Amino acid sequence: MHTSNSIQLINVTCPACGLLCDDVLVENKNNKIKVSKNGCAKSITFFEQKLGEITPKIAGKPATLVHAVAQAARILKQAKRPLFAGLSTDVTGFRALFNLAQKTNTTLQHMNATGTQRNLAVLQSTGWQTTTLTEVKNRADVIVCIGTDVVTNNPRFFERIVWLKNNKKSNSMFTDANAREVIYIGEKLNTKAGISPSGRNPSLLACRTSDLPEVTAVLRALVLGKPVKSDKVAGIKTEEIQAVADKLKTAKYAVLAWVAKDLDYPHAELTIQNITETVAILNQTTRAGGLPLGGSDGDTTANYANTWLSGLALNDKQVEHDAILWVNSFSPEKLPANNHLPLIVLGDANTKFKTEPEVFIPIATPGLDYSGTLFRVDSSVVLPLKKCRENKLPTLSEVVSQIEAQLK
């Protein structure tokens, strides 16, 4: 961090997606933040957001923080089975919510639970062999993106991890980054990011998203050496899938990447299982790793923090509840479902409601209004978030602690 001509320059970690890019440079001029280097569309939206209304509200009317906290506590006291949902926060915020949940007979559910559950179902039933972003950067020579273009969810994945465009040397530790081969399998995918710095186009096996279970099952069979009698699978020539299987088997380090959120169809977990079992087969003779990408709104952090605190994973099972505490520190546009239950919202100051909740307390955003920590999408590291601007917003943990104190 340094100051030049009244402009404060800060190297930050960006929490706008699961990559947690830690090379972003922002400038603070008169408490207004602007991304000056290494930003993407998501990081610009995050860091350059204006500070919204910081006054708490009760039923849409301005209130003091003390009164808003008291009303939130009354709602939770009256509820027999409240639901804590959203859960978009950092490690410290989640720990505070978890502690409050233990005292209020509460169920915890992240806003991204449906997608996360697809991965979790496979991990719990058969296990998997996954890799890290660092290993991909240093070792991968064949990368297959299944059902996703990746950059929609993680804009700088190819820039930072695959092509190493910001590195002084194009080579990674154990392979030539420019020589990597990228293959896409799926529907209407933007493959532009997969073009190598030397201009080599990626391969594309086009199929409908709903056909991915069949295509990945055939790919798995061909990697295993099983015969496939059909000439085409979901519109793709079997010989094209065989070519991908052959490349995977001869690769020094193959990576199969997917984003669970993009696999939005019934029993999508079976597609993920096909992918992870293909990885397991490859590892019998070579090296390969699965790479579940995506990660947003602190979902990786919530899942890992909940696991170490409770020994259990978060899930998306629907349960009966009679009040909702919605927490959203990162994405003001994501709102709770309107189900006419008493609603408490602890969220970004820019949140706009169609129907005002019973209580709304604006809270500070990690990585913008205060320092915090998040798990990266590959779960291998926890990265620090820095405070970039000044304001009087309370942190989530401060508000939750005040609510908890009134429940005693």
- List, for residues 279-335, the tens digit of each pLDDT value: 999 999 999 999 999 999 999 999 999 999 999 888 777 778 999 999 999 999 999
Q: Locate all alpha helices (DSSP H) within 251-337, ordered by sequence.
A: 269-282, 299-310
Query: Which region holds residue 89: left if phi is over 0, alpha if psi is between -120 and 50, else beta?
Result: beta
The pLDDT, as a whole number, for residue 210 is 95
Helix (H) or strand (E) holding 362: strand 359-362
Strand partners, 206: 186
**Fold (CATH) for 57-112+298-366+375-405:** Rossmann fold (3.40.50)
Q: Looking at the domain covering 116-293, what would its CATH class be?
A: alpha beta
Gap between the Cα atoms of 249 and 203, Å rounded: 17
- Per-residue tokens: 191: 């493959």
Check pLDDT > 80 for residue 166: no
Helix locations, 171-291, DSSP H:
212-224, 238-250, 269-282
DSSP assignment string, 129-174: -B--HHHHHHH-SEEEEES--STTTSTTIIIIIIS-TTSSSS--SS
Q: Mind listing the pLDDT tens digit for each residue in 171-186?
A: 567 889 999 999 999 9
| Token pair in block for residue 225 | 């050496």
Q: What is the dihedral of CA 351, 25, 17, 110, to 10 degrees?
A: -50
What's the token pair of residue 65?
Answer: 């923080």
DSSP state of 308: H
Evaluate if residue 5 carries a pLDDT over 60.
no
- The pLDDT value recorded for residue 317 is 75
pTM of the full predicted structure? 0.93
d(CA 394, CA 93) in angstroms, rounded, equals 11
Q: Please say whether the beta carbons of 143 and 180 come within 8 A.
A: yes
In the predicted model, what is the mean pLDDT of residues 142-168? 92
CA atoms lying within 13 Å on the CB side of residue 130: 20
Alpha-carbon distance 40 to 45, whole Å? 9
Q: How far apart are CA 280 and CA 80, in angstroms?
A: 46
Q: Is 256 helix (H, G, I), strand (E, B) or coil?
A: strand
- 164 dihedral zone (left: phi>0; alpha: psi -120 to 50; beta): left
Domain with CATH 3.40.228.10 in the chain: 116-293
- pLDDT beyond 60 at 1: no
Give the pLDDT band of residue 243 (cuts 50, 70, 90): very high
Contacts of 5 (CB under 8 A, 6+ apart): none
CATH 3.40.50 boundaries in the chain: 57-112+298-366+375-405
The model's confidence at residue 45, banded by pLDDT at 50, 70 and 90, is very high
Q: How many residues does the chain have?
A: 408
Query: Would you say residue 32 has pLDDT above 70?
Result: yes
- Tell me how far apart the alpha carbons of residues 36 and 33 are, in angstroms, rounded to a whole number: 9
pLDDT of residue 2: 54
Report the DSSP beta bridge partners of residue 9.
2, 27
Q: How far is residue 154's CA from residue 138's CA, in Å, rounded to a whole number?
A: 19
CA distance 388 to 385: 9
pLDDT at 9 over 60: yes
CA distance 193 to 293: 16
Of 56-65, 124-133, 165-174, 211-220, the least confident: 165-174
Those residues whose C-beta lies under 8 Å from the C-beta of residue 38, and which sit 6 or more positions away, are 21, 23, 24, 25, 156, 166
What tokens were used for 289? Answer: 């790793």
Percentage with pLDDT > 70 across the chain: 97
Asked if the model's pLDDT at residue 23 lies above 90, the reply is: yes
CA distance 299 to 108: 12
